[in-house]
Amino acid sequence: MPDVKMVVCCKQVPDPEAPPTAFKIDPTVNKVTLPRDIKPVIGQYDEFALEAALRIKDKVGGKITVLSLGNNIARDVIKKTLAVGGDELILLEDESFEEGDSWSTAYALAMAIKKIGEYDLIFCGRQSSDWDAGQVGLGIAEILSIPALTLARKVEIIDGKAKVEQVISDGYQVTEIGFPSVITVTSELGNLRYAALKGIMAAAKKQPVVWKPADIGLEPSQVGIAGRRVKLAKLFQPAKDAKCEIVEGESPAEAGANLAVKLREAKII
């Protein structure tokens, strides 16, 4: 089937490879604060999703629309999606999109996809690389009333359907899904390709389309923090309290026996 119309949702996140100590939590306002030298990147799972779409485009042809939601989205970061082979970039970019939850994000993305109109496959990462909720992809499917498959490690188009290998706990299963549908992609699919020079040159000449809430038929009160359905009650760094007890004995064998008793008492063994 030629020319599959695909939408790939990509989120800008703080670089997950930054050292954990770089991330600070301010529990008074329930926010994560970042040092100024942590650069945003495209979420890694979203990169896998984009790679899945690119492989389909390579094989059977198609159009890839990349969709991202946020505020102050770094152009040099998000335009990488065009450099690797995305055809169009739409940004849902506005202050009011900030601090949304999985619901308000999925809702805004679904409304944007409705506005895009024609779509066969919607690709998302299995979860974001910052909050790791893993709900947006399925949320989009629910709101658009279309089926979804999760944890794809391979996606092929055969006879007008997507043949998907889904990762399961002890291997993978092969599933077929018709169009339109949502597929969430996992790391086993493989890394996003490098941008070829020709793609970089072409991407530099393209500009993203920017949509505000009104452009997708939403009020600011329906998106971002105002549209949240989950209330963040408390954000904090768990205090780790490690106690070390030396289990002794007259001989190594006795120390071992004493250890076993203690473990039994603690119901560990």
Partner 1 sequence: MEYPSSVNLRDPVQKYSKAFATEEDLAIAEAVHKFVDKEIMPRRLDLDGGFHRDRNLAEKTLYEIRKKLVDLGWQRAWFPKEYGGLEMDSSVTYAIFTEELSRGDPDVAELFGTAVWGLQAAMLVNNETVLKRFAPIFCGNEVCDGCFAMTEPAGGCNVEDVYCQHGRTIQTRAELKGDEWVINGQKLWPGPIIDSIIYSTACTIDPEKGDDGIVIIDVPKDTPGLSFSKPEELMGRVCTAKNGSIFYDNVRVPREYCSGAPGGQGAWVLKQMVSSRFDSAAQAVGPAQACLEIATDYLKDRYIVGKPVRDRSLIAATIGEMAMKIQAARSYYLNVAYMFDHPEIYGDSISLQQVARASACKNFATEVAEWICRQAMGLMGSYGYSTGAHVEKYLRDLPIIRIWMGGVHGAMLDVARGEYPFESW
Binding residues for partner 1 (CB under 8 A): 12, 14, 31-40, 72, 74, 76, 79-80, 83, 99, 130, 194-198, 200-201, 203-204
CA distance 203 to 87: 9
Q: Which residues pair with 88 in a beta bridge?
A: 65
Tokens 């670089």 -> residue: 15
Residues in the chain: 269
What's the min distance (Å) between Cβ of 240 and partner 1?
21
- Cα 123 to Cα 34, 82, 136, 186, 195: the distances in Å are 29, 16, 11, 11, 19
Query: Closest CB to partner 1 among 24 and 115?
Result: 24
CA distance 63 to 34: 36
Contact 191, 210 (CB under 8 A): no
Radius of gyration of the chain (CA): 23
What's the min distance (Å) between Cβ of 101 and partner 1?
12
Tokens 């309290």 -> residue: 241
What's the min distance (Å) between Cβ of 259 and partner 1?
35
Query: Closest CB to partner 1 among 36 and 234?
Result: 36
- Give residues with Cβ within 8 angstroms of 77, minimum separation 6: 12, 39, 40, 41, 42
Query: Closest CB to partner 1 among 39 and 115?
Result: 39
Contact 113, 7 (CB under 8 A): yes
What's the min distance (Å) between Cβ of 238 and partner 1?
19
Query: Closest CB to partner 1 among 125 and 180?
Result: 125
What's the min distance (Å) between Cβ of 228 and partner 1?
14
Query: Closest CB to partner 1 among 39 and 114?
Result: 39
Would you report the helix, strand and coil content of the chain in percent, each value rounded to 5? Answer: 35, 25, 40
What's the min distance (Å) between Cβ of 25 and partner 1?
11
Contact 55, 84 (CB under 8 A): no
Query: Closest CB to partner 1 among 21 and 169?
Result: 21
Query: Closest CB to partner 1 among 38 and 247?
Result: 38
What's the min distance (Å) between Cβ of 93 and partner 1?
12
Peptide bond before residue 40 is cis, with ω within 30 degrees of 0: no
